[in-house]
Amino acid sequence: MHAVRTCTMGLVSSSAIALLLLLSLSFIFVNGGVPTTLDGPFVPVTVPLDKSFRGNAVDLPATDPRVQRIIEGFAPEQISVSLSATYDSVWVSWITGEFQIGDNITPLDPETIASVVQYGIYGLPITDEATGYSLIYNQLYPFEGLQNYTSGIIHHVRLTGLKPNTLYQYQCGDPSIPAMSEVYYFRTMPVSGPKSYPSRIAVVGDLGLTYNTTSTVSHLMSNHPDLVLLVGDVSYANMYLTNGTGTDCYSCSFSQTPIHETYQPRWDYWGRYMQPITSKVPIMVVEGNHEIEQQAENQTFVSYSSRFAFPSEESGSSSTLYYSFNAGGIHFIMLGAYVSYDKSADQYEWLERDLAFVDREVTPWLVAAWHPPWYSTYKAHYREAECMRVEMEDLLYEYGVDIVFNGHVHAYERTNRVYNYNLDPCGAVYITVGDGGNREKMAIVHADEASNCPEPSTTPDEYMGGFCAFNFTSGPAAGKFCWDQQPDYSAYRESSFGHGILEVKNETHALWTWHRNQDMYNNAGDQIYIVRQPDRCLVEPKVPK
């Protein structure tokens, strides 16, 4: 059902307001004083930088046993599960065979190894079997001295006809060799409905593969998520030359390279390290700038698009760079910031269609995610995604998106409800979690601090070639490019590594908790109930295009 949303600030009855206040107060009382967005907008808070804590943001070496290849022959490795568009289907992915890197590489033949998953409900015999497809990809450079790469055989198998909220056991591989994996387990999502939600959804961005990453993943695992959202910047393989030499700043260290190189084995290291979680907890990934990885013939995003399975086709998308899916009563929209997003682009037209068919009676919550934030007050990447915001924000506001998750900026920030830089009770809450633990520097400088406002000319969308960030024409920052103090839309910001957990409780209340790596995993660095007000922020039905 297509819908248009309006904010009816003066049309709600006093009894409805009283009921909402009573409901919110009951949540506060029961849950130990956790604030809700109904208590906002909040006075902006900046947590002072803890200079004693940087963590060990050093990449795991290839010699670390957690990233080494421990299987033999064509046994499966780098096993992962991802969701299809609905609860009754999931994807299982894995890799067989060894990668090759060097001057002379001979790609493996995907046709030589079958793609089979044998599965069944936990506690019952494994009687079901599904087959899929396989591929290899190459990372090739037309420059002398650069080493080329060819992957192992990547397998993707879609399981269908699954029961909701059910624990399944599975093995993957080629039973004819035989080369099958051990038995692993995953749980399907709940059926989509207004009272049906996964218990915990972990959200993390800019993860990388450092000792800090290991702390983030350990904390994340301790929170027992049912689903993981990774909002871009996965392995940081492009922080390396093809000879394996890495750096904290590619452009600083390798300014003379003929192309932005990437050391693809870091992807294999990442897949091996993450297998203990990705083999049992579905992971949904959207691309970041570190996944661009340009190579010969201007190909981009090849590793990202090859290694992960996406519900693109199931959600009507023609691209791995944007798609949607349901997780219980939540509809997730994963958008691509590094593919055309203007109103005449395929992505925008797909987004309009996708939103048009969201039934808020079935999936009350609408959550969007992409990599670079629209609302960030840090100097790093300040207003870099402004062109995307100009093109798409009206559409997301019109359809009542509740929460937006982003990465890219290596810090944490949560906004008040905001639309077009103005506080708006019907705007989305924007949350930046680009603090997963990669080896690049943490963002600590704020654009609103003295002498830190960047020059507008330094803030274009370099990859998409757009520039839309001009001086503000109204509000507290009228005539300026930055605020003179922390903007009123910024509720909380802190520079620290960590991850977040989203727990949707019912049709109107969702608990958001951000965990810092330096704390015990069950401590909250930031916590709030995000409350929907469907009676106040109306989404009016409209016939889909």
Instruction: Indicate the class that CATH gives domain 73-188+233-249+278-285+287-315.
Output: mainly beta
Percentage of the chain exceeding pLDDT 90: 88
Residue 171 pLDDT more than 70?
yes
pLDDT bucket at 19, cuts 50 / 70 / 90:
very low
Judged against a pLDDT cut of 60, whether residue 70 lies above it is answered with yes
SS3 128: strand
In tens, the pLDDT along 343-393 reads 999 999 999 999 999 999 999 999 999 999 999 999 999 999 999 999 999
- Smallest CA-to-CA distance from 385 within 459, 275, 289 is with 459
Both ends of the chain: CA-CA distance in Å?
A: 10
Looking at residue 311, what is its pLDDT? 98
- Region at 504 (left for phi over 0; alpha for psi -120 to 50; beta for the rest): beta
Residue whose C-alpha is closest to residue 351's, from 391, 297, 294: 391
What does the pLDDT look like over 138-147, one tens digit per residue? Answer: 999 999 999 9
C-alpha–C-alpha distance, residues 28 and 521, integer Å: 22
As annotated, the active-site residues are 381
**pLDDT beyond 50 at 170:** yes
Residue ranges with strand state E in 275-381? 283-285, 323-327, 330-334, 365-369
d(CA 217, CA 359): 34
- Could you read off the pLDDT of 468-480 as tens digits, one per residue? 999 999 989 999 9
How big is the chain by its Cα radius of gyration, in Å? Answer: 23
Nearest-5° angle of CA 197, CA 199, CA 205?
Answer: 100
Cβ neighbours of residue 65 under 8 Å, at least 6 residues apart?
none
CATH 3.60.21.10 location in the chain? 35-65+196-229+322-335+342-544
Mean pLDDT over each residue of the chain, to the nearest integer: 93
pLDDT tens digits, one per residue of 395-423: 999 999 999 999 999 999 999 999 999 99
Which residues on neighbouring strands pair with residue 433, listed in sequence order? 412
Delimiting residues of CATH 2.60.40.380 domain(s) in the chain: 73-188+233-249+278-285+287-315
Cβ atoms within 10 Å of 138's Cβ, excluding its own: 18
| Residue 365: partners with Cβ closer than 8 Å, 6 or more residues away | 329, 330, 331, 402, 403, 504, 507, 510, 532
- pLDDT attached to residue 519: 85
Dihedral sign from CA coordinates of 160, 161, 166, 172: negative
CA dihedral 367, 370, 371, 376 (to 10 degrees): -60
Higher pLDDT, 18 or 257: 257
Binned at pLDDT 50, 70 and 90, residue 270 comes out as very high
Which residues have CB under 8 Å from 310's CB, separation 6+?
Answer: 82, 317, 320, 323
Question: Please, which pLDDT band fits residue 247 given cuts at 50, 70 and 90?
Answer: very high
Fold of 35-65+196-229+322-335+342-544: Purple Acid Phosphatase; chain A, domain 2 (3.60.21)
Residue 11: per-residue pLDDT: 37
User: Residue 344 contacts by C-beta under 8 Å, 6 or more apart in sequence?
Assistant: none
Residue 543 has a pLDDT of 64
> Which of 16-20, 39-43, 418-422, 440-444 has the lowest average pLDDT?
16-20
The answer to whether the beta carbons of residues 209 and 264 sit under 8 Å apart is no
Instruction: Tell me the two tokens of residue 493.
Output: 């910001």
| Contact between residue 90 and residue 84 where contact means Cβ atoms under 8 Å apart | yes
pLDDT at 521: 64
In this prediction, residue 7 has a pLDDT band, given cuts at 50, 70 and 90, of: low
pLDDT at 9: 44
pLDDT at residue 540 in the model: 77
pLDDT at residue 51 in the model:
76
In this prediction the pTM is 0.94
Given a cut of 60, whether residue 114 has pLDDT beyond it is: yes
What pairing do the DSSP bridges indicate for beta strands 365-369 and 330-334? parallel
Note the pLDDT of residue 123.
95
Q: Is residue 518 very low, low, confident or very high in pLDDT (cuts 50, 70, 90)?
A: confident
Beta bridge partners of 116: 131, 173
**CA-CA distance, 326 to 324, in Å (whole number)?**
7
pLDDT at 23: 42
Burial grade of 180 (CB within 10 A; 0-12, 13-18, 19 or more): middle
**pLDDT tens digits for 122-133?**
999 999 999 999
Q: What is the pLDDT of residue 16?
A: 41
pLDDT at 441: 87
- Residue 110: half-sphere exposure toward Cβ, Cα within 13 Å: 17
pLDDT given for residue 24 in this prediction:
40
| Cα–Cα distance list, 471 to 386, 409, 509 (Å) | 12, 21, 36
Q: DSSP label at 246? A: B
- For residues 47 and 40, give the distance between their C-alpha atoms in angstroms, rounded to a whole number: 18
- Average pLDDT of span 56-69: 93
Residues 327-351, buried b or exposed e (16+ Cβ, 10 A)? bbbbbbbbbbbbbebeeeeebbebb
CB 155, CB 115: distance < 8 Å: yes
Element spanning 470, H or E: none
Mean pLDDT score, 109-118: 97
Check pLDDT > 60 for residue 8.
no
